[in-house]
Structure 1
Amino acid sequence: MNPIVYAIPIFFLMILIEVITTIIRKKDYYRVNDAINSLSTGMLNVTTGVIFKLGIYTLIYNHAALFSFDGDTLWVWTLGFLLQDFFYYWNHRKGHEINLLWAAHSVHHQSEEYNLTTALRQTSTGFLFSWVFYLPMAIFGIPPHIFLTVSLFNLLYQYWVHTRHIPKLGWLELLFVTPSNHRVHHAKNRKYLDKNYGGVLIIWDRLFGTFIEEDESYEAIRYGTLKPLRSWNPVWANLHLYTEMFRDAIKTKSWKAKLTLWFRRTGYRPADVATPMKMPDIHIYENYNPEASKGLKVYSLIHFAILVLATTVFMAISHNTPYGFNTLWTIVLALNLICIGWLLEKHTGLIIVEAIRFVLSGATIFVSNGIWIDLIPGWTWQFIITSGTVSLLVLQTSGIAKPVSYREGNSARAAGS
């Protein structure tokens, strides 16, 4: 079973604790729409990971390893941890410095909030290139099970540093990635850009000149990307920069630019397509927060929670289910998440969107049971029919799907809601 399955309840328990702490401290660190979008990209990350397992590290290790180390000795595990963290630093750093790599990594930085849901906001396309950075470990001879374990530890460690509630931690700031120095990494303030790339250890940033300390006397940190996403569509969040580069490659008349723009410095666009990007004034941006009624937010949360449960079950069984089944349900999950994002940013056609979503999900169960017998419990039919009917009636009769008027929206904004 995928070990992430065991971590999911812990992730959400910690999110609940942080939400309660945020309410008690009367802070504004959470928004329903932003949190759902972050978690949606995380769900796409783990489910697409089921169908896009490359296994290149093991392949290289089996055929090109220079040394054969005992995978049960402490020093090999320690070396594996240090090497993985070192190469993670360079993977992460180049993910900010090269157009093609930033197109993948930018997903993690798109949230304009900074909380534990941001930690789960992960790319679904990073697997395409990140493996390259760890090939030296495979060639050197670090066993695959050690690489996979320390990589998982690195990923899980980074979860807790995505919070604004924990202050600086004294001497720990000298050695480890902490909430303070990772807040700096997510900042789009000019002073903090492209700093603090470490995964577990901050010593790599100190060694290679990319460390900067959080300055609490400086202006408040603003989160997100310099060019805001402004969408709650988790699939578009993963693809929009690739699409933009592809369009630039088509438009430019320079063959050199067509071939090299992918590997140029982040933000580069051909001169005959766009003028060089200037550092924008981040203070002119309002966070993307399209108006939605409280009822619609509650409705979206309930249905999103069902999708979270479905994703957890899918991850728990995916190692025993056929590849076709896993692919189909990954696609259907993505379409469901797109619809949830649509609910939170559109004001018309919501009933039609939901009707299509329920029909699509029901049809997928029908197809699954027709091809892969007994993989989907029979009661799911009744659940889809019942929940779909109730949901459409609620949307139709309660008025929660009606647009928030311009006046109501501005009143809510003025009140700080």
Structure 2
Amino acid sequence: MHINYLALGIPFMLLIIYLEYILAKKRKLMTVFRYESTVVNLSIGIADRFFDIFCSTIFYATYYFLYEHWHFFEIGDAWYIWALLLLATDLVWYWYHRLGHKINILWAAHIVHHHSEEFNYTSAVRITVFQAFIRSAFWSVLPLIGFQPKMVIPVLMFHGVYSFFTHTRLVGKLGLLEYVFITPSLHRVHHASDEKYLDKNFGDIFVFWDKLFGTFMAEEEEPHYGIVHGLETNSFLWQHFHYYLEIAVAFQRAKNWKDKWRAAFGGPNEMNPAIRRLLERKFKVMKVSSATNLMIRKYINMQMVGCVLVLMMVMFFYSDLSFVVYLLSLAFVLVTLVVCGALLDGRNYVLVLEGLRFGLLMPWLLYMLIGSWWISICSAFAGLFTIFLFYKHFVMREMKMSLF
């Protein structure tokens, strides 16, 4: 049995988030964390990690394939190559990041990272699988140049760890380090929705790319966070797909091919914000009510903990799991995350999703793991009955729902 100890990074990350929360509370900074935003941020992060279990294998295999068949230079692996590679990865990141803010079809994947109107370590994990594919496509240039994949992969992991720690309001300016590195202060500017701060500080580790290409700006007053035209829903699916739908509507409305091209490859500043409101009404994704009931929040918390545990187990033993078990686990977690967002918004369709979770996905997954339909079906009935009682006594009145 092969155990993937990278799964231990998840509790470490959650510990850092908890410590940030405790410190914010101690400093009486009550606006650093907001319950709904935290749940949504972590939901997106959990989904990304789950997809990444499988997709990272594809990315790494692609790097090795490109290097073995088409690399241009023999760069080697001397100690100074590590420093050169770190600079190269950050330069590629800068242009991937900058283009991701300037081209609609790329912004559709990256906008999810900027939705949160709170700026803390949970906002750092707002990455989607779409963004991961685009980012990996850009980074594929590194093995093509001649950097060895065995060096590229750990450097990219370092990038991910470093950028996580730049997402906080609790660290002020860091003196001389501000002249060399992207710090929390400089990255706060990047996440701002204030007009003066828009499209600034695209670097991931080093600040000199922004200074070289004219996109640098130091933090003056603390920014307002999020996107210019914010979302009015906590829907897990809407967070991921709304901008793709906006592009589709803009493309359909365009009267000539030039405008259609601009709808897909123009800038986000050219997108009509009225399209989003139109789509929100069409798909009825507007928030109906807020989950303020303590029992509902406890239930959501339990679902989030369950998702983290499933994620960790799949990460630990991925090499020994069948692909069907992986897909069922992924489906169960994704539906659970959609349920959490629906509860936050007070949406009635959460009842259908709960039936799907406990009536189909859970018994099927249990059967694949233990091989007993009898236990699986009994567990499904027990789960459905428990959910029925919980919704009847704690959710219906709060959310003004009806079971039938």
TM-score range, shorter chain: 0.7 to 0.9
Change (3 A) 1:290 1:189: farther
Q: Is 1:268–1:276's contact at 8 Å kept on the other side of the alignment?
A: no
* Amino acid in the other structure paired with 1:106: I
Shift of 1:387: 5.6
Distance (Å, rounded) in 2 between the aligned partners of 1:275 and 1:403:
31
Q: Is 1:56–1:131's contact at 8 Å kept on the other side of the alignment?
A: no
Aligned to 1:280: none
Shift of 1:81: 1.1
Q: Is 1:99–1:267's contact at 8 Å kept on the other side of the alignment?
A: no
Aligned to 2:305: 305
Q: Does 1:66 align with 2:72?
A: yes
Distance (Å, rounded) in 1 between the aligned partners of 2:97 and 2:377:
44
Shift of 1:313: 1.1
Q: Deviations over 1:85-109 (max 9, x none)?
A: 1111111111111111100011100
The alignment of Structure 1 onto Structure 2 pairs a total of residues equal to 383
- Whichever structure has more helix as a proportion of its residues is 2
Distance (Å, rounded) in 2 between the aligned partners of 1:389 and 1:335:
19
Q: Is 2:45–2:126's contact at 8 Å kept on the other side of the alignment?
A: yes
Q: Deviations over 1:184-223 (max 9, x none)?
A: 110100111111111111121122111111113xxx4211
Q: Is 1:177–1:200's contact at 8 Å kept on the other side of the alignment?
A: yes
Distance (Å, rounded) in 1 between the aligned partners of 2:268 and 2:365:
43
* Amino acid in the other structure paired with 1:62: E
* Amino acid in the other structure paired with 1:67: F
Q: Match of 1:125, SS?
A: helix
Distance (Å, rounded) in 2 between the aligned partners of 1:69 and 1:381:
58
Distance (Å, rounded) in 2 between the aligned partners of 1:378 and 1:202:
60
**Counterparts in 2 of 1:89-108, with a 5 A limit?**
89-108=94-113
Shift of 1:11: 0.6
Please list every run of at least 4 consecutive aligned residues from structure 1 whose deviation after the TM superposition is greater than 6 angstroms: 273-277, 376-384
Shift of 1:331: 2.6
Q: Deviations over 1:307-356 (max 9, x none)?
A: 11111111222233233432333233211110111111116465554344
Distance (Å, rounded) in 2 between the aligned partners of 1:261 and 1:351:
37
The equivalent position to 1:402 in structure 2, one of 389, 397, 401, is 397
Distance (Å, rounded) in 2 between the aligned partners of 1:349 and 1:79:
52
Q: Does 1:202 align with 2:207?
A: yes
Distance (Å, rounded) in 1 between the aligned partners of 2:388 and 2:273:
45
Q: Is 1:40–1:234's contact at 8 Å kept on the other side of the alignment?
A: yes
Shift of 1:384: 6.3
Aligned to 1:412: none
Q: Is 2:328–2:361's contact at 8 Å kept on the other side of the alignment?
A: no
Aligned to 2:247: 245
Q: Match of 1:267, SS?
A: helix
Q: Does 1:329 align with 2:324?
A: no
What TM-score do the two structures reach when normalised by structure 1? 0.83
Distance (Å, rounded) in 1 between the aligned partners of 2:12 and 2:247:
38
Q: Is 1:348–1:402's contact at 8 Å kept on the other side of the alignment?
A: no
Q: Deviations over 1:125-178 (max 9, x none)?
A: 013422342243222210012111111101111111111111111111111111
Distance (Å, rounded) in 2 between the aligned partners of 1:317 and 1:7:
15
Q: Match of 1:69, SS?
A: coil
Q: Match of 2:269, SS?
A: coil
Shift of 1:361: 3.1
Distance (Å, rounded) in 2 between the aligned partners of 1:393 and 1:221:
45
* Amino acid in the other structure paired with 1:300: I
The equivalent position to 1:47 in structure 2, one of 38, 50, 73, is 50
343-352 vs 226-235, greater mean Cα deviation: 343-352
Q: Deviations over 1:237-257 (max 9, x none)?
A: 122111221222223231233
Distance (Å, rounded) in 2 between the aligned partners of 1:16 and 1:379:
37
Change (3 A) 1:290 1:93: farther
Q: Match of 2:129, SS?
A: coil
Distance (Å, rounded) in 2 between the aligned partners of 1:291 and 1:256:
43
Distance (Å, rounded) in 2 between the aligned partners of 1:65 and 1:183:
37
Shift of 1:228: 1.6
**Counterparts in 2 of 1:113-192, with a 5 A limit?**
113-192=118-197
Q: Is 2:363–2:376's contact at 8 Å kept on the other side of the alignment?
A: no
Q: Match of 2:211, SS?
A: helix
Distance (Å, rounded) in 1 between the aligned partners of 2:294 and 2:164:
29
Change (3 A) 1:400 1:236: closer
RMSD, aligned α-carbons: 2.9
Aligned to 1:9: 11
Q: Is 1:296–1:401's contact at 8 Å kept on the other side of the alignment?
A: no
What TM-score do the two structures reach when normalised by structure 2? 0.85
The equivalent position to 2:38 in structure 1, one of 32, 35, 40, is 35
Structure 1: which 5+ residue stretches go unaligned? 278-287, 406-417
